[in-house]
Amino acid sequence: MDKQEPSENGGRKAGMTSPETDSSVHRFTAPEDAVGDRLDRFLGRQLYPSYSRSYLSQLIRDGRVLVNQQMVDRPSHRLELDDQIEATLGPPPSQTPQAEDLPLNVIYEDQDLVVINKPAGLLVHPVGPYQGGTLVNALLHHYPEIETVGVVHRPGIVHRLDRLTSGVMVVARSNRARSGLVGQFKERLVKKEYRAIVVGKMSLISDYIDLPIGTDPKHHERMRIDLTEGKPASTFYEVEERFPGFTAVKAFPLSGRTHQIRIHLAQLGHPVVMDPIYGKSVGTAYTRFRQKREKEGKRVPSIRRQALHAHRLRFVHPVDGRTMEWESPIPADIEELGAALRED
């Protein structure tokens, strides 16, 4: 599922203390307005922009952050008043991605934007230890002007797709285009259509899911339904085709939360096939399907990632005002999975 880019406000939160620095050790005292805050968020604000939150989260998990002289290995650790935080940091990682000569599947381009077909397995921008081989690295090679568009560590990016999700994306080549596109995503004016194959036979022809989503404090790579602190999230879906034990659906996210479609469908009891995070509990259904085909001597689908694809994207050109709609064909691995299910 894609996630819209937040506005960048920069700076530190009012009331935060400045670090007392001793070589590579940074020390902080938690003020009153940080009570109950997550440790990684607190450090992220204190050390912005030299260190990213993902870098600091990994630092915490590696045991290089102390709270009141005790090692804390959970980024979600909640702070109390006057907690003494001590972080041992190396040199700030480079925030500037490097251009790499990587292939791009370009659907459309003009002087202000480019529409691409992202393959499954490609990260959108560098994060944590993955500083190369991303879409941003490729964009900087083919469109070097985007280096100055938007945020330094994800230039040109106005929305994202999960690494294992394929499909259509739009990227800004100018700051005027970025401003307009970010505004359209924020106001929910961009229309998105996804295709997915999920586990189980969905009973309704269509439905509207309206459940807020927040981070999972126990698993940093996961999101979860959070009725108290989650951000509003809504998805409309339609059944496209039913198979024995599986269903092909069209999903139309009306908001842009991380993993939104995957979480909403899993919450209904129908996770996306091969979803490595939200589909583990029912993954045996797809395993049995594969084993059955192998036993019968039939071709086994080659899909090795979540069966989710960003199929269509519609928006207004942020400079000339044209309504534009672009489509990414259903990838061969998802088509092959559908054909095998249909055959059975």
Q: Looking up tokens 């996210």, which residue turns up?
A: 253
Q: Are 135 and 115 in contact (CB under 8 A)?
A: no
Binned average pLDDT, 10 residues per bin, the chain of 344 residues:
50 39 76 92 85 83 91 92 92 79 97 98 84 94 95 92 97 97 96 97 96 85 90 97 96 95 96 92 84 92 95 97 97 96 89
Q: Looking at 2, 112, 162, 333, which residue is catalytic? A: 162
Do 173 and 229 fall into the same domain?
A: yes
- State residue 20's pLDDT score: 42
Domain presence at residue 18: no
How many domains is the chain partitioned into structurally?
2
Examine the fold and report which residue of 57, 88, 119 is the final residue of a domain before the chain moves on. 88
State residue 4's pLDDT score.
Answer: 58
Q: Does this model's pTM top 0.85? A: no
C-alpha–C-alpha distance, residues 254 and 188, integer Å: 6
Q: What residues contact residue 99 under an 8 Å CB cut-off, 6+ apart? A: 137, 140, 141, 144
| Whether residue 146 sits in one domain with residue 245 | yes
Q: Are residues 59 and 192 in the same domain?
A: no
Structure tokens at 305: 């990632």
Residue-range definition of the domain harbouring residue 278: 106-343
Whether 37 and 79 have beta carbons less than 8 Å apart is answered as: yes
Rounded Cα distance between 194 and 157, Å, is: 19
Domain assignment of residue 7, yes or no: no
> Is 17 contained in some domain?
no
Same domain for 139 and 83, yes or no, is no
Q: What is the pLDDT of residue 53?
A: 80
pLDDT at 14: 35
Residue 22: the pLDDT is 42
Closest CA to 19 of 1, 36, 42: 42
Decide if 162 is catalytic. Answer: yes
* Token pair of 42 as six digits: 């607190």
Nearest to 146 by CA among 122, 114, 194: 114
- Residue 6's pLDDT is what? 46
Rounded CA separation 310/196 (Å): 9
Same domain, 203 and 246: yes
- One domain for residues 157 and 34: no
The CATH number that applies at residue 238 is 3.30.2350.10
Reported as a single tens digit per residue, the pLDDT across 232-260 is 999 999 999 999 999 999 999 999 999 99
